[in-house]
Structure 1
């Protein structure tokens, strides 16, 4: 469009578009002159009033492209990748420590059970030996009671009994005057008397033997109870 065809811009508004106040005649003339001068400058630059001098809209950044570029930057960020890898390694380390702790606890429990089982097997072995020796010990006790245990044989028997007592916790029990206890006594005879107030052992027919707290054989006794 030629300069002659350019529209003429006039600003005859009596109200100021900015303040909303009534303009004077001088202010209307000044606004009109300013509008005309702006139109002439726009015509000389080849653009209509309100447009950019190059005739195009103002440039705006492509937000989608910028976001994509930002995402690509984050994905390629070596610091972020290193942090992610460190977090994964920390998780693996925590799991490995938990597995090691559980394994250590199971091993400790295994050791404890093994020690208990070994001790129990040892005790059962001693009990088995004592059970086999009980008849011999009965004969030794009977020989001692009748004065038939003398000389070198007596020394050997005492050594055997001492070894059973000190090394294997073998104990002989059962005595006249004890209160009858069915857990450690076996009554072979029973009588009644006014001289006793409770069930009392009045005769030991065969002594009892125990290993530690376990009774290998109860004491076989005669019991007298109140009338």
Structure 2
């Protein structure tokens, strides 16, 4: 849904004066007649007021001013609605409802995004709990792969476990020969090696695991370091 500007929409609504061209002269004539009657009444009131006591005249003037003020306030409150045609009034109400609907829609989208983030966070916590509980078994599988022959059935089970964790975004890392990185490698031993120019992973004791950028367990390795 595109952005909706209620002010621009309301400025285009037709006024009552635009649809009452022929009624305007009659209204003007009525206004002139009312002005003449008001002038005559004002003249009579002046003559009558001259005969009244000063206190009564002052009270009457105060009441008239209060009444005029109330009429002007009422006229100001209803001015916007009185200048609109029935169709214009209906469009104005529709614009207000649409604006409120857009606010509710924006609040719902924000709530949905927060809920999705919370759901993903809880999902990762569940995966981490399962992975942490299975780490000893996974380390034993890696040792069997490295130091002994695995029969076909055991190898198939081990591969299924690896694929299951890959499906949930778990990445296994730590390889012999890669550069040592203290952010993902836990060096349990450093040994000098004349054949390397920088610190390099010589032996992976236990593989590391991570989900995205989050390291669940650093790879425990033996590091070959330059002799100098």
1:121 aligns with 2:122: yes
Q: 1:141 to 1:68 in 2, by over 3 A?
A: farther
Please say which structure displays the higher CA radius of gyration.
1
Cα deviation per residue 1:114-144 (whole Å; 9 max; x = unaligned)? 1222122212211211111111100111112
Do the aligned partners of residues 181 and 62 (structure 1) sit closer, same or farther apart at CA in structure 2, a change above 3 Å counting? Answer: closer
For the 8 Å contact 2:198–2:225, the answer to whether it is kept is: yes
Structure 2 unaligned segments of length 5 or more: list them. Answer: 1-32, 42-74
Question: Is 1:94 aligned to 2:95, yes or no?
Answer: yes
Give the structure 2 partner of residue 218 of structure 1.
218
**Unaligned stretches of 5+ in structure 1?**
1-60, 70-74
User: TM-score if structure 2 supplies the norm length?
Assistant: 0.59
Distance 1:151 1:222 in 2: 30
Distance 2:134 2:176 in 1: 24
Equivalent in the alignment of 1:179: 179
Equivalent residues, number:
159
How many Å apart are 1:111 and its aligned residue?
A: 1.2
4+ residue runs of structure 1 moved beyond 3 angstroms?
Answer: 61-64, 66-69, 80-95
Seen in structure 2, the aligned counterparts of structure 1 residues 102 and 63 have a Cα distance that, compared at 3 Å, is: closer
* Alpha-carbon distance change, 62 to 104 in structure 1, aligned in 2, over 3 angstroms: closer
The answer to which structure has the higher helix fraction is 2
Determine the structure 2 residue equivalent to 1:65: 37
Following the alignment from structure 1 to structure 2, what is the Cα–Cα distance between the partners of residues 162 and 179? 26
Quote the Cα distance in structure 2 between the aligned partners of 1:112 and 1:92. Answer: 31
